[in-house]
Amino acid sequence: MSQIPVIVLKEDTERTEGRDAQRTNIMAAIVIAEAVKSALGPRGMDKMLVDSFGDVTVTNDGATILKEMDVAHPAAKMVIDVSKTVDSEVGDGTTTAAVLTGELLKKAQELLEQNIHPTTVITGYRKAAEKAAQIIDEIAEKVDPATPQFKKVLKDVAKTAMSSKFVATAKEQLADVVVDAVLSVAKARADDEEINLDYIPRQKQYGENIQDTELIHGIVLDKEVVHAGMPKRVEKAKIALLECALEIIKTEFDAKISITDPNSMQAFLDEEQRMLKEMVDKIVEAGANVVICQKGIDDVAQHYLAKHGILAVRRVKKSDIQRIHKATGATIVSKIQNLTADDLGTADLVEQRKIGDDKLLFIEGTPKTAVATILIRGGTEHVVDEVDRAIRDALYVVKDVVEHPYILYGGGAVETEIALRLRDFASTLEGREQYAVNAFADALEALPATLAENAGIDPIDILVKLRSSHADGEITAGIDIVKGKVRDMKKTRVVEPAVVKRQVIASAAECSQMILKIDDVISSKSAPVPGETPPDRDLGDED
């Protein structure tokens, strides 16, 4: 009986166990972290990503880099998920999260090679992450939204978020735009309500310079008026918002009409025209002077709308329709027959303007909800895309500070201070867990070392000086990348939201713990796509 083999798993299944599984997973995660490591900090390098269609993306945004990478290994995908989580929760710190995850696993690998059990490392990392969160709460500085300095702090936060991006040369102007946008939307919300960044849409338009990016207090649609005879500017607009088409609805099934004489043909055309005129008459009767339609508008309907001096645009995105509904108070009407004067929204001005080579529709002075559109400009499409990514990050961090008014100072100051205090905390622990806590501290210190390395500064020398400054009680001492030395980050105004640091450390710690807990990888080969022939099938003649 002992000689009979027992097959439990499928033939094509691969299994990796124990130390080999841990080593493989850790290596895959470290490789992903190393890929984005050189993009960290103000002097970080950009990556060029080319997808399967040949589309090119040039960026140093960690979330974008990792999202565009076509990764196969499951452990590597977990690191990418960390970056995505940080991006969706707080909007910034994506590169830091990926690099920190890699460093934590690198240090854990060294402990595993010293025969320290993975569970011990995981427990130590969990305690270190909890202690790090406490330290962040202790050293975070509260800012009062009621003070005049609050706006300056928000601007510093926005500039810090953009200093590592391509737009760093224009960060002064862009920071003003971002802060004004967030504050204008924040004022219109209830005190306990979150700031909805959907009310700060970004409209990309290449041409001009990055410095020409501007804030429009209203909604900008990438649409132009559908008929040349329509007005291009309407003041005190009454807006009809339609999700139905101003066209004759075709039947769901094929139909044929037999016409035997010219009079019947003319009667058929007249009936179509009468139905379209009825639709327009309904809009006129309701008192609308602007029509925004989610679907199409027939040429005949366009003619009648123009005749009545009504401005109309068509095929507007559903997200924009929702935004206009919230901002203007217009009811989204699904059947034109149901339109009444009560369904109309209002705006101070609706106007078509030419921006670059394109015509855009501006809706300004919306009464219900403050909406601020950022009109992004740049020399080429790639530049505009990168400006858009930088502004998105800046919007998120400013929103973070408005909702949670606690700040920290960057340049590696926070990581060095946490590392210093974790080492003191490690000495209070018994057993091998203190090795794991010290390893966590070493991983955190790798972040300022990477900042220095990417800026061409000797990481060992600068780290020694940083440790010395923090040992002397200088909590806000960090690396001044421009000067190449340790300085007070409070004076250089490198400001970051406390909530971002908390999220980065918590997410990186959780991911590293999950990867360390895996000691068995069982992978099945993917099932063949229906209709495809399996590669090993013999294609002989069939009877």
Catalytic residue ranges: 61, 94-95, 393
Q: How far is CA 144 from the centre of its chain?
A: 27
Residue 259, Cβ neighbours under 10 Å: how many? Answer: 11
DSSP E strands in 393-516: the ranges are 406-409, 477-480, 485-488, 495-497
- The one-letter amino acid code at 441 reads A
Q: Which of 393, 534, 521 is nearest to 25 (CA)?
A: 521
Query: Rounded CA gap, 122 and 134, in Å?
Result: 19
> In sequence order, what are the residues at sequence separation of 6 or more whose Cβ sits closer than 8 angstroms to the Cβ of residue 318?
243, 294
Q: Which of 6, 55, 16, 7 is nearest to 518 (CA)?
A: 16
Q: Are 80 and 36 in contact (CB under 8 A)?
A: no
Q: Virtual CA dihedral for 476, 477, 482, 484, nearest 10 degrees?
A: -170
Q: How far is CA 63 from the centre of its chain?
A: 8
Q: How far is CA 293 from the centre of its chain?
A: 28
> In sequence order, what are the residues at sequence separation of 6 or more whose Cβ sits closer than 8 angstroms to the Cβ of residue 182?
154, 195, 200, 395, 398, 399, 402
Helix-then-strand count for the chain, H and E: 16, 19
Instruction: Give one DSSP letter per residue of 83-99, joined into a string.
Output: HHHHHHHTSS-HHHHHH
Residue 212, Cβ neighbours under 10 Å: how many? Answer: 15
Query: Rounded CA gap, 10 and 147, in Å?
Result: 67
Q: Which two tokens stand for residue 41?
A: 């900090």
Please name the residue that has the structure tokens 């929103």: 399
Q: Virtual CA dihedral for 375, 378, 379, 382, nearest 10 degrees?
A: -110
Handedness of CA 84, 85, 89, 93 (dihedral sign): negative
Query: Rounded CA gap, 95 and 39, in Å?
Result: 7
Please name the residue that has the structure tokens 């108070």: 329
Q: Which of 520, 516, 522 is nearest to 29 (CA)?
A: 516
Q: Are 218 and 373 in contact (CB under 8 A)?
A: yes
Q: Which two tokens stand for residue 233?
A: 């500017």
DSSP-H helix ranges across 329-412 = 381-403
Query: Rounded CA gap, 482 and 310, in Å?
Result: 56
